[in-house]
Structure 1
Amino acid sequence: MPGTGDRVNSPLLTAPGAVAPFDGAPDQGVPWHFGDPFAEQRSAARSVAVVDRSHRGVIAVPGDDRLSWLHSLTSQHFAALAEGRGTEALVLDVQGRVEHHAVVANVGGTVYLDVEARTTEPLLKYLDSMRFWSKVEPRDATAEFAVLSLVGPDVAALLAKLDVPVPGKPDEAVALPDGGFARRMTWPGHDAVDLAVPRADLVAWWGRLTDAGARPAGTWAFEALRVESLRPRLGLDTDEKTIPHEVNWIGSAVHLDKGCYRGQETVSKVHNVGRPPRRMLLLHLDGSREVQPETGDPVLLGDRVVGRVGSVALHHELGTVALALVKRSVPVDAELLLGVDDRVVQGSIDPDSIPPDTPALGREAARNLGR
């Protein structure tokens, strides 16, 4: 069974049609696709597909003080997180830079954090170091639970057919009868549900879902739809300098009306009197070449580096696309180059991906005073 820091190798890698990811891919240990990644994406967009994401780490935080304790350590308003609710949360450093990201569910007296596998151990170590006298017992629950993601407009009907409790609204979470929980997600798409199922029952759950009509899909399909949804992924779309404002985490993972936590000063300052130096944008890449840039490659305007490549995906409708952190000063109609050496491709900014450039509250107040 997987423990803290162990890589998960899913038994579903031996499922019919499963293709393992290439060496160096970010989603090691789970199927990359099942033979037709574009058809898998279409099913996830138009009907229902199920994705094995059992390589995700899971941290459980039971205890009477769990909500107030997590409230003090993270960017999210845990003090107001009711039973049966989900959310997202960040741990920031003292400069407000992103260190950890978690998808959250508060179910049955325990807060569950599902996280990037490589961050499970350092996040748990940090949480342990901050326990002091709080009544909390954080533990690595990766060996207990495995994440399956259902995506598509027919998710609710599929779960109802199986008599599985269906969360009614986005960010709702409900306990599953035999352990684990179902959590309604707002991405990718509008109809996704994450199932945290007992790891020992992973293969049985997969069989139930696929027998009921969910198409098996790999992480290729999930990641393509995530990129389309403009949802960042820690370590791919972030670097050591990323602040939440740059990657659309304000609101979803950062609550602006809560008390002190590490990094809050930067969050408040940028929100009230400044603008982030970069912004995460969707770029359409030239797909005529059989190469593509890699995560961490530079984005260039002429011979000037103006950004960093994040997630790169082959989408069933959009073609080759990427998320990139790009300097705010780059014009929307700029012709960009992405990559290095023999994997340089042209790219253009999707104007619909540019976040609203609303005036900072402090700047607006200062202008009003001068009138």
Structure 2
Amino acid sequence: MTQTPDHPILSVRGLKTHFNLREGLIKAVDGVDLDVRRGKTLCIVGESGSGKSMMARSVLQIVTPPGHVVEGSMAFSRDGKSSVDIAKLDPAGKDIRAIRGRDIAMIFQEPMNSLSPVHTVGDQLVEKILLHHKIGMKAAIERTVEALDRVGIPDPRRRLSSYPFELSGGMRQRVMIAMALGCRPAMLIADEPTTALDVTTQANILELIRTLQDETDMAVMFITHDLGVVAEIADEVAVMYLGQVVERGSVEDIFYAPQHPYTLALLASIPKLGARHAVGKRLKAIEGMVPHPLDRPTGCPFNTRCPEAVAGLCDRTEPALSELRPGHFGACHMRDPQHLKTINPVEA
């Protein structure tokens, strides 16, 4: 297998992550298909409760028990010549531990939940590098200084002795990015990394990730609910709802030719710069709320909130993710070419 720019570094097919609780079965991730490509950014979007973060955690097999990956494949190929199915690896085994951090790194929304408050920044970064690379302490320290410098930490050598609580929120997030990139991963998973930051710091972090990606040809999976961020950084977009990808395609497809009613509703809820809204007029909002996972509707998961839902169809039969046009996929009965042929064969 020869590496090409379009060849996925991570190919996820039919991924299911379930939680068996006394109250019932929660299908946190329910049959996700997506690809992440080298040098490209895939943004995962959707409301809270859509399964975005759980899907990302499933990729690294860090799902908290009693949750676990029950089905599907996650083919990861760093060099394009060989691949490993992460779904088949023991979540506590040495093979997946070697992939975490070294090949696929992850940064989270709140760095203070990921950084130890009782260890210095330098100790934490050096420890991770030593864990994944067979180099000496001196080389690990120099690589740590280099990583801190690359993410814009002033006087990086002095910061080795700083504790996380001594840094601002933006600086802590830069430390997290430095920790993620210290092992030079092929792929970065960023789970809402800018949500808790002010607008200026958020812009700086996004620019930093983009710059580092350009320098290293790193693949990025970026999880967010902010469609403004998506428009700024995405190459491809996957829209998730109740654990499923309901639409995916290029950023141009999603923003200029959206097909799924949920995607349309998300885009309609964004304030438009320069739009003339009447005084007192409310922005459009999606009706209802994301159902509780234990109260999952039958048929299309979005049918209880969808203005286009057809009784007897959408509330009974779950739509398949079908290719609407080359590279653009959607899961909606009203957009499925095969379904349209059956209900209107002449026009279809």
Structures share fold, TM-score greater than 0.5: no
Higher fraction of helix: 2
Higher fraction of strand: 1
